[in-house]
Amino acid sequence: MIDDIRHIQDRALAGLSAVTTLDDLAALERDLLGKTAELSGFKKVMGTLDHDARREVGAALNAAREAISEAVAQRRSELEVVAAVARAESERLDLTEVRAGGDAGHLHLVTQTIEELEDVFVGLGFSVAEGPEVEDDWHNFTALNFGAFHPARDMQDTFFVGLGGPREVVMRTHTSPVQIRVMENQRPPIYSVMPGRVYRNEATDATHLAVFHQLECLVVDRGITFGHLAGTIDMFTKAYFGPGWTSRLRPSYFPFTEPSAEFDIQRPDGTWLELGGCGMVHPNVLSNCGIDPEEYSGFAFGFGLDRLAATRHGVTDLRELASTDIRFLEQF
Amino acid sequence: MKVLASWLNQFLDAPVSPEQIAAAFDDLGTPVEEETRLGEGLDGIEVVQVLALRPHPNADKIQLVDVDRGDGEALQICCGASNMAVGDKLPLATLGTVMPDGMAIERRKLRGEWSNGMLCSTRELGLGDDHGGIMILDPSIPLGTPLVEALGIEPDVLWELEVNPNRPDAMSVSGLARDVAAKLGVDFRPLNPPALVGERSEFSWSSTGPGGRDSRTLADSSTVTVEVADPVGCGRFVARVLRGVRPDAATPDWMVRRLTALGMRPISALVDISNYVMLELGQPNHPYDLAKVADATLGVRRARDGETLVTLDDVTRTFTEDDLLITDGQDRPVGIAGIMGGADCEIGPDTTDVLLEMAWFDPTSISRTSRRLGLRSEASARFEKGADPGVIEVAADRFCELAAEICGATTEPIQVDVRAKLPERPLVRVRTARVNSLLGTDLSAGRMAELLGPIGFEAREVDGDLDVTIPTWRFDSATEIDVVEEIGRHEGYRNIANRELTEPRAGRLTPAQRERRAVRRLLCGLGLAEAQPLPFLAPGQLAAAGLDPGGIELVNPLVAEESVLRTALLPGLVAAVAHNHARRQHGVGLWEIGHVFLPPPPGQVLPDEREHLGVILAGREAPAAVEVWQQLAALFRLESPTLENADLPGLHPTRGARVLVAGETVGTVGEVDPTVLGRHDIGERVAVLEVDLGALFSAPRRSEAYRQISRFPSSDIDLAFEVPEVISAIDVEETLRSTDDLVWSVRLFDVYRGAPVADGTRSLAYAVRLQAVDRTLTDAEVAEVRARLIAAVETTHRASLRG
């Protein structure tokens, strides 16, 4: 009988090592150790044996069950490893094949430039003002001290709009009308910058646009001098372009400022870039806005943004700034 | 304005280097736009003579020229020009010469034939603008002479300067010299020609008169008359008479070179003298053939409407009452005052006697006429800025001096001088403290006077301030601030110390500006690209986009395709998609923030200008655009954002909606109308959203207050209703959300149409999450809320719960 038990155990162990799936293992485990298992049959015959024999057979049976249980557990852990490996393999992904369906979007390079400039000026204590792109003669010219037939009007080729009287409504030729609107609506002190789109009736080419952008800076307060103008331009130059940059002012003419100047900025390598125009706000302009020029003085400076934006990215034809081609837009 | 260093130096008391002059120009506000070194690079150019001309065997446009350098040998040159004949003397750039433009002349083969140098045009030599052919030289020049020697060329510098409207004085060589001399601290030597008709009178802005008529008797007892009938348009009119002009008089080379360098074409001795005086002194002037001027009388009056004149350029000009004319003794027009003379009284080869006009015309009048006629001349450019009424007699004497020298003319010892109205330029009180407080300087009154004196602003100290006389050559200056600028200019902008703004100030963006940036970030976050198309549309582009065709138009567009102001961003964005689609760039997602221009509201001249946001999603259906709107609405916590399905212009008839916040329309959303897509050859669906940002930013918002989250488990219930098609799914959701405080969130998770759901309705299934902050809800509470939600939806929306 003992031999029979040993024989059953040997067969069981051989069977276990042949099982290859966890499901087969579970079925075999039931066959070997369940209520209907062969070894369970010995319990019935045990009662017929004498005491010593019963103890001997009992011990053999327990040993066999233990050995089989152990083998089942071991086989299970072996097969679980195999199954995990198989599942992992079945889920394999090649992550180098992944491509994003979209990207982080694109701000137009002019918008990027305007935001950067606004941030610099906000940091210098300025607020940002805006105004309409279609303007009346008063805000675009007359209040800015352009006489009705002053040759200075020829300096700015103008798009006239089919509203109001002849030449009464224009596409604004500069952001300066926003100066007038700010001064009409706010008492000094005024520390404002005015970015925006402007329009000139000029044939476009690689370096000239009919629709472009400017940013203007206006300060009106007590005791503002030409020295403050030069100092503020220099501070802006360093804040925006970098500490190694400097600026200079050269006499020029604008109807709405006097004294007037052009301002150039100097790169760290010593070369110059003509950037914009500036000057002390003309007393007539202050008076036109109801500000007493004897009490307050002010300065303004302004420049075009498009070339700044384009140069930074090596865009040599400014006309591309109006491009709606995704190949252009997605580069910024 | 162009100017030569040699000419300028004639007015300076000490020689000044071109470098110093150029730097001074930059510092004075007449910056150098272009500098040309003349007479340089001509070292290897020699005078040669043509021996023979032969066709090139292999090239039609090149001929072979045999030239003699003086040794009698024939030297073969290939030449592209054909204006020379055998025997002509020409300039030859010999081998080894480096031309003014840097090109080195080498022996080389052109189409198989050797060329041993280059024959030169005046432009190639930097001596003029003529590139029509080779420069033909005076036949008397010996062969082999260096060109520099043959032409008496001395090295010179030509500057082209930018001159602003506030610098009438900078329109003449002497005026520029005065300014430069003051800057460089050398003495200015004004021109002082012999006074041919007696002592020149002192002249100031107050040397005015009533206009009218003045006559003088000439040597032959005839009279010469000037009559100024418009004393406002013509402030001064001086006339002189010159006799005995030699018909064969030729303009001397030195004058030709100067005129040419400054951009004026030499014409005849008298015309050249006239131009020379204008360039030198800034005084435009006009010599008439005395014999052709009826009654030797010149008048100035306004034109009659429709009056005409054939001008020197052979164009018939028609006038209005605004225009100022010069007339003769028969009241016939002989010139447009200050702009251009008439053809009838023109100086010609037969002219022996000259009636010379030197006048001052009102800048505004000249500017208006010149602009209206589209006719600009060197004279009008000067009168427009404001000429110098005080230089007239010097200019007249200079003209007579040169005419005597060059043409052998004698001047009658008379001068007609009619004085009329000049602008008022009273003494200007310049406050020392005011100057320093504007410039940020600490200059004394004495120092200011020192800066002003050399440019003719005579300053007299009065109680520590200055009384300043405005010189007659500075029409632009009239007030204290003008003088401040002159002080700053001559003190030097670079000598004014930089100052920092010291008032403490907080800079910040406005809420709308910050929120506009938030919109930009959101759209970038959605992976979309910002575009900035032109705001001008072509006629018909609004209609092509399905919108109302009426847009505000430009009066003077650059091109018709850019002549209408956009009333919406949609047309530009659809065109952008079409552009990309045509290049097989499908599925682009673009956005734009920009102004649109609607008709002016009643009582207003300016358009109703608004800032819009446009989003366009090619290859996407309407829901994609709705999702963008919902993200915007969530970003700004808009109060009750909703949609109203509608058939809207430009949008797909059954896939469009108005966008509303708290009942007010702020935009539109949907898909672009297939008809519009067809017109633009777009073969994919295009979703679109356009929102008025001003309306959006000012729309009511939900409270910013935080809603406490619960530590207790939540309960979820799903509710499906049959809802009539006319009821908005958003409204049902809003009812579920607002009926009970225990509702934490509502989500529409399924929409179903078809059996067994009744026709004209659809099934809307919502997942509702219930939550209390202080407890776990009991089954009874959940059941109670559920019942209330069902009742609310059923009664409010004619809906029924599905079983």
The pLDDT of residue B153 is above 80: no
Banded pLDDT at A155 (limits 50, 70, 90) = low
The H or E element spanning position B288 is strand B285-289
Of A191, A227, A324, nearest to B531 by CB-CB distance is: A324
The pLDDT of residue B740 is above 70: yes
Q: Please, are residues B515 and B635 in contact by the beta-carbon 8 Å criterion?
A: no
B232 touching A (Cβ < 8 Å): no
How far apart CA B639 and CA B632 sit, in angstroms, is: 12
Q: Please, are residues B763 and B757 in contact by the beta-carbon 8 Å criterion?
A: yes
Residues of A in contact with B631 (CB under 8 A): none
In terms of CA atoms, which chain A residue is nearest residue B485? A259
- Which CATH superfamily, name and number, covers B511-698? Bira Bifunctional Protein; Domain 2 (3.30.930.10)
| Beta carbons of A107 and B530 less than 8 Å apart | yes
The pLDDT of residue B728 is above 90: yes
Q: Which pLDDT value is given to residue B436? A: 97
**Helical H segments across B526-565, by residue range:** 541-544
The pLDDT of residue B48 is above 90: yes
Which neighbouring-strand residues pair with A198? A212
| Beta carbons of B438 and A226 less than 8 Å apart | yes
pLDDT tens, position by position, B17-39: 999 999 999 999 999 999 988 87
Where does B2-39+157-184 sit in CATH, by number?
3.30.56.10
Task: Tell me the residues of chain A between 54 and 93 that have a Cβ less than 8 Å away from chain B.
Answer: none
Q: What is the 3-state secondary structure (H, E, C) of B403-453?
A: HHHHHCCEECCCCEEEECCCCCCCCEEECHHHHHHHHCCCCCHHHHHHHHH
DSSP state of B455: G
DSSP state of B33: E
Q: Which pLDDT value is given to residue A45? A: 79
| Beta carbons of A228 and B501 less than 8 Å apart | yes
| Beta carbons of B528 and A105 less than 8 Å apart | yes
Q: Which pLDDT value is given to residue B654? A: 96
| Spatial CA neighbour of B651 closest among B679, B696, B610, B689 | B689
Fold entry, domain B428-495: Phenylalanyl-tRNA Synthetase; Chain B, domain 1 (3.30.56)
DSSP state of A245: -
Measured in whole angstroms, the distance separating CA B586 from the mean position of its chain's CA atoms is 39
- DSSP structure string for A45-102: HHTTS-HHHHHHHHHHHHHHHHHHHHHHHHHHHHHHHHHHHHHHHHT---GGG---SS
| Beta carbons of A326 and B520 less than 8 Å apart | no
Which of A118, A136, A163 to mutate: most B Cβ within 10 Å? A163
How far apart CA B461 and CA B496 sit, in angstroms, is: 23
The pLDDT of residue B758 is above 90: yes
Minimal C-alpha gap between A94 and chain B (Å): 25
Contacts of B450 (CB under 8 A, 6+ apart): none
pLDDT tens, position by position, B768-801: 999 999 999 999 999 999 999 999 999 999 999 9
CATH architecture of B715-801: 2-Layer Sandwich (3.30)
Burial class (CB in 10 A: 0-12, 13-18, 19+), A271: exposed
Lowest mean pLDDT among A291-295, B86-90, B468-472: B86-90
Minimal C-alpha gap between A183 and chain B (Å): 17
Q: Which pLDDT value is given to residue B243? A: 96
Task: Tell me the residues of chain B between 146 and 205 that have a Cβ less than 8 Å away from chain A.
Answer: 164-167
Of B31, B363, B585, nearest to A250 by CB-CB distance is: B31
Q: Which residues of B485-519 are buried (b: 16+ CB within 10 A; e: fewer)?
A: bbbbbbbebeebebbebeeeeebebeeebebbeeb
- ipTM value: 0.87
Burial class (CB in 10 A: 0-12, 13-18, 19+), B745: middle
Which neighbouring-strand residues pair with B715? B770
The pLDDT of residue A234 is above 80: yes
| Spatial CA neighbour of B419 closest among B387, B391, B388, B389 | B389
- DSSP structure string for B700-745: -B------PPPSSPPEEEEEEEEEETTS-HHHHHHHHHHH-TTEEE
Section A70-94 average pLDDT? 94
The pLDDT of residue B552 is above 90: yes
| Spatial CA neighbour of A300 closest among A179, A184, A195 | A179
A132 touching B (Cβ < 8 Å): yes
pLDDT tens, position by position, B553-596: 999 999 999 999 999 999 999 999 999 999 999 999 999 999 99
| Beta carbons of A104 and B575 less than 8 Å apart | no
pLDDT tens, position by position, B229-258: 999 999 999 999 999 999 889 999 899 989
Measured from the Cβ of residue B765, the count of other Cβ atoms closer than 10 Å reads 15
Q: How far is CA B657 from CA A132, B306, B401, B651, B661, in A?
A: 29, 60, 85, 9, 13
Counting residues of chain A whose pLDDT is more than 70, the rounded percentage is 99
Banded pLDDT at A149 (limits 50, 70, 90) = confident
Banded pLDDT at B522 (limits 50, 70, 90) = very high
Measured from the Cβ of residue A174, the count of other Cβ atoms closer than 10 Å reads 24
Q: Which pLDDT value is given to residue B43? A: 83
Residues of A in contact with B494 (CB under 8 A): 248-249
The pLDDT of residue A248 is above 90: yes
Fold entry, domain A109-329: BirA Bifunctional Protein; domain 2 (3.30.930)
Section B284-299 average pLDDT? 95
Minimal C-alpha gap between A206 and chain B (Å): 16
φ and ψ at residue B624, rounded to 5 degrees: -65, -40
The pLDDT of residue A153 is above 90: no
Task: Tell me the residues of chain B between 20 and 79 that have a Cβ less than 8 Å away from chain A.
Answer: 26-29, 31
Q: Is the peptide bond before B756 cis (omega within 30 degrees of 0)?
A: yes
Fold entry, domain B212-419: Phenylalanyl-tRNA Synthetase; Chain B, domain 3 (3.50.40)
A172 touching B (Cβ < 8 Å): no
Query: How confident is the prediction for chain B on average, in pLDDT?
Result: 94
Q: Please, are residues B667 and B570 in contact by the beta-carbon 8 Å criterion?
A: no
Contacts of B611 (CB under 8 A, 6+ apart): B516, B593, B594, B595, B596, B692, B693, B694
| Spatial CA neighbour of B33 closest among A230, A259, A268, A274 | A274
Give the dihedral sign, CA B648/B649/B655/B659: negative
Which neighbouring-strand residues pair with B336? B325, B340
Residues of A in contact with B430 (CB under 8 A): none
Contacts of B52 (CB under 8 A, 6+ apart): B65, B66, B74, B86
How far apart CA B695 and CA B614 sit, in angstroms, is: 14
Tokens of B253: 């080379």
How far apart CA B5 and CA A154 sit, in angstroms, is: 30
Banded pLDDT at A123 (limits 50, 70, 90) = very high
φ and ψ at residue B407, rounded to 5 degrees: -110, 0
Section B389-410 average pLDDT? 96
Q: Which pLDDT value is given to residue B711? A: 95
Q: How far is CA A160 from CA A203, B565, B657, in A?
A: 15, 12, 36
Of B494, B524, B594, nearest to A248 by CB-CB distance is: B494
- Report the Cα–Cα distance between both ends of chain B, in Å, rounded: 92
The pLDDT of residue B387 is above 90: yes
B533 touching A (Cβ < 8 Å): yes
B585 touching A (Cβ < 8 Å): yes
Domain ranges of chain A: 2-97, 109-329
For tokens 């009279």, name the residue: B223
Q: Which pLDDT value is given to residue A53? A: 84
Q: How far is CA B643 from CA B622, B668, B727, in A?
A: 13, 9, 11
Section B433-445 average pLDDT? 97
| Spatial CA neighbour of B288 closest among B296, B299, B280 | B296
Q: Which pLDDT value is given to residue B122? A: 84
| Spatial CA neighbour of B657 closest among B697, B628, B700 | B628
Long-range contacts of B521-526 (CB under 8 A, 24+ apart): B522/B631, B522/B632, B522/B635, B523/A105, B523/B591, B523/B615, B523/B628, B524/A104, B524/A105, B524/A106, B524/A107, B525/A104, B525/A105, B526/A102, B526/A105, B526/B589, B526/B628, B526/B631
Q: Which pLDDT value is given to residue A285? A: 98
| Spatial CA neighbour of B736 closest among B655, B662, B796, B663 | B796
Section B428-447 average pLDDT? 97
Section A259-279 average pLDDT? 95
Which of B361, B366, B474, B532 to mutate: most A Cβ within 10 Å? B532
Task: Tell me the residues of chain A between 252 and 291 that have a Cβ less than 8 Å away from chain B.
Answer: 252-253, 258-262, 280, 282-283
Q: Please, are residues A239 and A215 in contact by the beta-carbon 8 Å criterion?
A: no
Measured from the Cβ of residue B734, the count of other Cβ atoms closer than 10 Å reads 15
Tokens of A32: 């070997």
The pLDDT of residue B448 is above 90: yes
Tell me the three state secondary structure of residue B334: strand
| Beta carbons of B583 and A235 less than 8 Å apart | no
B502 touching A (Cβ < 8 Å): no
In terms of CA atoms, which chain A residue is nearest residue B484? A259
Farthest-apart Cα atoms in chain B, separation: 130
pLDDT tens, position by position, B331-383: 999 999 999 999 888 888 899 999 999 999 999 999 999 989 999 999 999 99
The pLDDT of residue B82 is above 90: no
Banded pLDDT at B155 (limits 50, 70, 90) = confident
Axis-axis angle for helices B511-525, A109-123 (nearest 10): 140
Counting residues of chain B whose pLDDT is more than 70, the rounded percentage is 100
Q: Which pLDDT value is given to residue B526? A: 95
The pLDDT of residue B693 is above 70: yes
CATH class of B45-153: mainly beta
For tokens 């051989």, name the residue: A14
Tokens of B14: 């000490």
| Beta carbons of A149 and B580 less than 8 Å apart | no
Tell me the three state secondary structure of residue A128: strand
The pLDDT of residue B625 is above 80: yes
Q: Please, are residues B70 and B82 in contact by the beta-carbon 8 Å criterion?
A: no
Query: How confident is the prediction for chain A on average, in pLDDT?
Result: 92
B580 touching A (Cβ < 8 Å): yes
Q: Which pLDDT value is given to residue B216? A: 96
Domain ranges of chain B: 2-39+157-184, 45-153, 212-419, 428-495, 511-698, 715-801
The pLDDT of residue B737 is above 80: yes
How far apart CA A234 and CA A245 sit, in angstroms, is: 8
φ and ψ at residue B43, rounded to 5 degrees: -60, -35
Q: Which pLDDT value is given to residue A147? A: 83
Contacts of B566 (CB under 8 A, 6+ apart): B535, B536, B537, B542, B551, B572, B596, B597
Same CATH topology for B45-153 and B715-801? no
Measured in whole angstroms, the distance separating CA B29 from the mean position of its chain's CA atoms is 18
